[in-house]
Amino acid sequence: MLRVGMIGLGGIARSHAQGIAELDDVEIVACADLIESTRAEYMDAYDVPKGYASHTELLEDPDIDAVGVVLGHHLHHRLSVDALNAGKHVLVEKPMALTLEQCDEMIAAAHANGVKLMVGLTNHFLPVNIKAKEILDSGELGPLITIVSYMSKNWNHASRRPQYRSRYHGGGMWLSNGVHVVDRVTWFMGSQAASVSASIGTRAHYQAGDDSATAFIRYKNGLAGVAVSVGFADGGPIHDTHVICANGSLKFAHSASGRGLWIGKNNSWDEVEYDYWPQNMRLEWGRFAEAIAQDIESPVPGEYGRHIMEILLAAETSELSRSEVLLDSGESWNSQAAGEPVQIQHGWV
């Protein structure tokens, strides 16, 4: 049984709790939040026996094996490093951190303490994405040519907390939601990125963070993809991903406004059936628990989370410099740092 402590009890912490509730081998045994009423409500709603006012108190609890760091982006680094140094496995929400230096410290802390670090990039656990990846991996559609992916939605500026409207604190549409699009393109591309050219700006709102971005990403396999992330003030949502291959195409989406998967062949589109489950966090935590139990690479390891951050940050540099930006690792391949068996379910390939 993997015993979890949840740190930060905002809206996403509820999704984590609902997913974990469906698992037989994972349970939440403690939670931490500064606000007493929030703690009490969460403990009551999800039958959590222990609550703490701070993460430092929670990390002293010997009954906790792993923690979920599921609060503001600006706190991911500090709380993850503290937890890893306390000997706890960590599943940290996206984006991994605010700088590559912070990501490196998190990865180093995990290796130094012999614990697992996983980044909560949920696209790896969405049923439609898993089925689409299965089709691509089968070779049925032939070699990949390009990918274009969108996340265009209402930014809900009025109800969004200040830290998520401020780039200084790691907010804005690009880091908050563009991370999903970049992850999606990169995961399906099956390659590490080499360079980025992007246009990023604040065009629909008065705030200290961006609300729209378009990035052209070149990959080391010689291909390129486009990631579009827009938080509009009003409009119709688009969450589509289009994958063009030599012998066929895929288009798929997963959102409240539309969900489905289609294969394009012979100048027409045919819908593909797939198993669907509403709780994506269930599979996310299930695979994390599996990696810990088997001592294998986590499904979304820190090194992969860092690479996604490298792309996101390079895109911001591209906007400021008005030029294509070569990633630091752009002219070479990153290699697996730890000698551990690889994850065969949803690993970085």
* pLDDT value of residue 349: 67
* pLDDT value of residue 90: 98
* The two structure tokens encoding residue 273: 């059936």
pLDDT digits (tens, 9 = 90+) for 324-339: 999 998 999 988 877 8
Query: Between 343 and 247, whose confidence is greater?
Result: 247
Strand 2-7 to 26-32 pairing: parallel
Does 116 map to a domain?
A: yes
Residues 163 and 258 grouped into a single domain:
yes
Q: CB of 8 within 8 A of CB of 72?
A: yes
Residues 288 and 169 grouped into a single domain:
no
- With a cut of 80, say whether residue 257 has pLDDT above it: no
pLDDT digits (tens, 9 = 90+) for 43-63: 999 999 999 999 999 999 999
Separate counts of helices (H) and strands (E) for the chain: 10, 15
pTM: predicted TM-score of the whole model, two decimal places: 0.96
* pLDDT value of residue 294: 95
Residues 264 and 145 grouped into a single domain:
yes
Residues 107 and 183 grouped into a single domain:
no
Does 339 map to a domain?
A: no
Residues 147 and 96 grouped into a single domain:
no
Residues 169 and 315 grouped into a single domain:
yes
* pLDDT value of residue 344: 78
Distances (CA, A) of 138 to 101, 124, 135, 202, 348: 37, 17, 5, 41, 16
For residues 133 and 10, give the distance between their C-alpha atoms in angstroms, rounded to a whole number: 31
Does 178 map to a domain?
A: yes
Does 276 map to a domain?
A: no
Residues 145 and 222 grouped into a single domain:
yes
Expressed as residue numbers, the domain containing 148 is 124-271+309-326
Residues 229 and 170 grouped into a single domain:
yes
**CATH number of the CATH domain containing 171:** 3.30.360.10
Mean pLDDT of the chain: 95
For residues 122 and 279, give the distance between their C-alpha atoms in angstroms, rounded to a whole number: 11
Residues 145 and 246 grouped into a single domain:
yes
Residues 136 and 257 grouped into a single domain:
yes
Residues 117 and 132 grouped into a single domain:
no
pLDDT band at residue 342 using 50, 70 and 90 as cut-offs: confident
**CATH number of the CATH domain containing 287:** 3.40.50.720
The DSSP result for 186-254, as a single string, is HHHHTS-EEEEEEEEE--SS-SBS--EEEEEEEETTS-EEEEEEEEESSS--B-EEEEEETTEEEEEEE
Does 349 map to a domain?
A: no
Does 340 map to a domain?
A: no
pLDDT digits (tens, 9 = 90+) for 146-162: 999 999 999 999 999 98
Residues 22 and 97 grouped into a single domain:
yes
* The two structure tokens encoding residue 66: 């792993």
Distances (CA, A) of 164 to 167, 208, 292: 8, 9, 31
How many domains are there within the chain? 2
For residues 339 and 34, give the distance between their C-alpha atoms in angstroms, rounded to a whole number: 39
Does 255 map to a domain?
A: yes
pLDDT digits (tens, 9 = 90+) for 74-123: 999 999 999 999 999 999 999 999 999 999 999 999 999 999 999 999 99
pLDDT digits (tens, 9 = 90+) for 171-194: 999 999 999 999 999 999 999 999
CA dihedral 38→41→45→50, nearest 10 degrees, is: 80
Does 341 map to a domain?
A: no
